[in-house]
Amino acid sequence: VLTDFVTYYIRRPSEGSIVVVTSKIVALGEERTADPKKRVEIIKAESEFALETKHTWLTIKDGTVMSSAGVDESNADGKLILLPKDSYAAAEKLRKVLKRKWKLKKLGVLITDSRLLPLRSGVVGIALGYAGFKGLRDYRGTKDIFGRVLKVSQTDVADSLATAAVLEMGEGKEQKPIALIQSAAVEFAEKVNRHELKMKIEDDVYYPLFKHVRGK
Amino acid sequence: VLTDFVTYYIRRPSEGSIVVVTSKIVALGEERTADPKKRVEIIKAESEFALETKHTWLTIKDGTVMSSAGVDESNADGKLILLPKDSYAAAEKLRKVLKRKWKLKKLGVLITDSRLLPLRSGVVGIALGYAGFKGLRDYRGTKDIFGRVLKVSQTDVADSLATAAVLEMGEGKEQKPIALIQSAAVEFAEKVNRHELKMKIEDDVYYPLFKHVRGK
């Protein structure tokens, strides 16, 4: 179903493209919907950490900080839409089918959602899962322009691509569920390490904020 | 100096473009450098909130959460580079000069830095200041595809553009200090509300995390 939807919307792209799909479409394909009356129950069940805040729930789901475990009521026709069951697996599955269908060697798939940044109004796109490219670019051990070895520099490629795509796909009535990224600064790879973006909470710069609160 | 640098690197773009400049170049133009021995002192002086964490300092500077108040040692030739004094003012100043020089009606300027997201490895780009376009897209009061009125949806356009640009500009030796964004989904405007992206800490979804800690 998802493949038909994608190939209906976009034609065979050039080598080295990334197909971006919103989590909503993937979740609908997986029939991940629920009764709005069960909202709080579901938010708690879907997340590893859940804390009620003034306007929403602050949650950690699959190691990712987001609002309300990604459970969404907008554009849902009266139902709640949950996130896909496993966005990395869904991305890889879609990539395999599209790659074969389009006879491409290098193809990426990226499943996106949106979230709030600390102290910022407005949401930005985030990568829930992806396949076919490296989500993290590593500069550690390379030198800066003055020849000094960089110690900590890594770029979060997957979230950056998701953010760019979600800006173009929009929200609300105008939302486009699919986008195509071409000629981005990305390294394609057949296998993805689904933990590469995850920072251990104890090592995280935000850890001192999390360690004082107990959710759920 | 900054204008010369920009016009050396890029030619007159088409109407509706956004010139992206890294904070580093702007800060160097303002001679915002310091002695590395004074690092901790400067991080504290530059930020409204500063908390030492395992690998770095978690700070709030100009209402924005970032590492070490943006004070950077990479690509700095032995000096610390601080952030620009006022990135919104710097963006507007640069925009005025470039607009006149290039005889353009619609031109944006965006000054970027990079930061870590909660529980994520790798940095993403962030908007420090901008001019010439709306940094926040507002869907509140509009309807979703099923006709239901959206209550909270806003998109953080400025940070999204910064994230896309920083991915392309890179880090380390390969870093390009300037980029050009063309035909983005942006509303151009002569005046910018420099507070539009700022979320009051008490209203923020992350507030429960911040309220338990005392920094500096």
CATH topology of domain B2-189+202-210: 60s Ribosomal Protein L30; Chain: A; (3.30.1330)
CB atoms within 10 A of CB A20: 27
Q: Which residues of B touch A146 (CB under 8 A)?
A: 75-78
Burial of residue A175 (number of CB atoms within 10 Å: 0-12, 13-18, 19+): middle
Contact A121 B207 (CB under 8 A): no
Q: Best mutation site among B206, B207, B210, B216 for testing chain A: the one with the most A CBs within 10 Å?
A: B206
Mean pLDDT highest for which of A111-115, A161-165, B65-69, B208-212?
A161-165
Q: Which of A118, A61, A114 has the alpha carbon at shortest distance from B139?
A: A114
Q: Which residues of A touch B208 (CB under 8 A)?
A: 51, 53, 58, 213
CA distance B48 to chain A (A): 13
Contact A212 B210 (CB under 8 A): no
Do B19 and B191 meet the contact criterion of CB atoms below 8 Å apart? no
Q: Which residues of B touch A150 (CB under 8 A)?
A: 74, 171-172
Assigned superfamily of A1-31+84-190? CofE-like (3.30.1330.100)
State the complex-level ipTM. 0.88
Model pLDDT for residues A147-198, shown as the tens digit of each residue: 655 555 789 999 999 999 999 998 766 778 999 999 888 999 999 999 999 9
Burial of residue B13 (number of CB atoms within 10 Å: 0-12, 13-18, 19+): middle
- Chain-centroid distance, C-alpha A120: 19
Domain ranges of chain A: 1-31+84-190, 33-82
Model pLDDT for residues A7-47, shown as the tens digit of each residue: 998 999 999 999 999 999 999 999 999 999 999 999 999 99
The reported pLDDT for the residue numbered B132 is 98
